[in-house]
Amino acid sequence: ETGVTQSPTHLIKTRGQQVTLRCSSQSGHNTVSWYQQALGQGPQFIFQYYREEENGRGNFPPRFSGLQFPNYSSELNVNALELDDSALYLCASSFQGAYEQYFGPGTRLTVT
Amino acid sequence: GQQLNQSPQSMFIQEGEDVSMNCTSSSIFNTWLWYKQDPGEGPVLLIALYKAGELTSNGRLTAQFGITRKDSFLNISASIPSDVGIYFCAGQLSTGSARQLTFGSGTQLTVLP
């Protein structure tokens, strides 16, 4: 069974740029959730995707957007990067309707 | 913002000791989950709790879902060095069909030899 994978592991961007992060869900899982984890804090829910559509969203502005593909993999896109967007971005996969979510190793984004 | 109060924020214990941490919320949750995160890694699921009052064990770990559905605790017995890490509680509501997790701020556990 393949776990959740994310790419890249690290990324450095400049304020105002755009970034795309990628996630492959655990085999058999059809739902992907994205979380932002600032240093020293717990993860915060950004949004969830199921059947290639956004299925729920946390308190994040529209410049955070996502996609889910037919193979259940997903992308997180962030436009007009701000310094406060520097964080660890975590992807979690699950079965639709299941309570347990399984996390990938994350992508560390640094905005300068 | 986050709605869960997790305590303590950090703990230093001797190897072999038991440790307890807890989470409280102003909101009712349907499910409580406990995760452990090592540096540079994503959170790893330790225990999931589905019913108020439920007590569940996973090896040396025991967790309980509070009767009011607003709290949960995690106990680790006979701690060992590999227990070092950050422990997070997470509560889950069902918002439509989405299952979003709300996390606490974490308990940093250090185990001294």
In the predicted model, what is the mean pLDDT of residues B23-27?
93
Which of helix, strand or coil describes residue B61?
strand
Question: What local confidence, expressed as pLDDT, does residue A1 receive?
Answer: 60
Distance from CA of A64 to the nearest CA of B (A): 17
Q: Do the strands B107-112 and B98-103 form a parallel or antiparallel pair, or are they unpaired?
A: unpaired
Residue of chain A nearest B39, judged by CA positions: A105
B106 contacts A56? CB cut-off 8 A: no
Residue with the larger pLDDT of the pair A20 and A28: A20
Task: With a cut of 70, say whether residue B96 has pLDDT above it.
Answer: no
Place of tokens 């009712």: B28
> Residue B94 — pLDDT band, cuts 50, 70, 90?
low
B98 contacts A103? CB cut-off 8 A: no
Contact list in A for residue B44 (CB cut-off 8 A) is 103
Contact list in B for residue A45 (CB cut-off 8 A) is 100-102
Place of tokens 């308990």: B107
Is residue A41 within 8 Å of residue A104, measured between CB atoms? no
Residue with the larger pLDDT of the pair A19 and A95: A19
Residue B81 has what DSSP assignment? G
For residue A56, how many C-alpha atoms fall within 13 Å in the half-sphere facing its CB? 20
Question: What local confidence, expressed as pLDDT, does residue B97 receive?
Answer: 59
> Could you report the per-residue pLDDT of A55-100, keeping only the tens digit for each?
889 999 999 999 999 999 999 999 999 999 999 999 999 988 788 9
Contact list in B for residue A89 (CB cut-off 8 A) is none
Q: B101, B102, B107, B108: best mutation site toward chain A, by most A Cβ within 10 Å?
A: B101
B103 contacts A56? CB cut-off 8 A: no
Q: Nearest Cβ partner of B43 from A96, A98, A103?
A: A103
Task: With a cut of 80, say whether residue B26 has pLDDT above it.
Answer: yes
Gyration radius (Cα) of chain A, Å: 13
> Residue B95 — pLDDT band, cuts 50, 70, 90?
low
In the predicted model, what is the mean pLDDT of residues B52-71?
96
Contact list in B for residue A90 (CB cut-off 8 A) is 42-43
> Could you report the per-residue pLDDT of A24-41, keeping only the tens digit for each?
999 889 999 999 999 999
Task: With a cut of 80, say whether residue B80 has pLDDT above it.
Answer: yes
Contact list in A for residue B32 (CB cut-off 8 A) is none
Of A17, A64, A70, nearest to A45 (Cα)?
Answer: A64
Q: Nearest Cβ partner of B42 from A58, A90, A99?
A: A90
- Cα(A81)–Cα(B41) distance, integer angstroms: 24
> Residue B42 — pLDDT band, cuts 50, 70, 90?
very high
In the predicted model, what is the mean pLDDT of residues B82-104?
86
Distance from CA of B96 to the nearest CA of A (A): 8
Is residue B47 within 8 Å of residue B56, measured between CB atoms? yes
- At residue A73, what are phi and psi to the nearest 5 degrees? -65, 165
Q: How far is CA B5 from CA A42, B11, B56, B103, in A?
A: 11, 16, 21, 9
Residue by residue, DSSP assigns A60-111 as: --TTEEEEE-TTS-EEEEE-S--GGG-EEEEEEEE-TT-S--EE---EEEEE
Task: With a cut of 60, say whether residue B2 has pLDDT above it.
Answer: no
> Residue B57 — pLDDT band, cuts 50, 70, 90?
very high
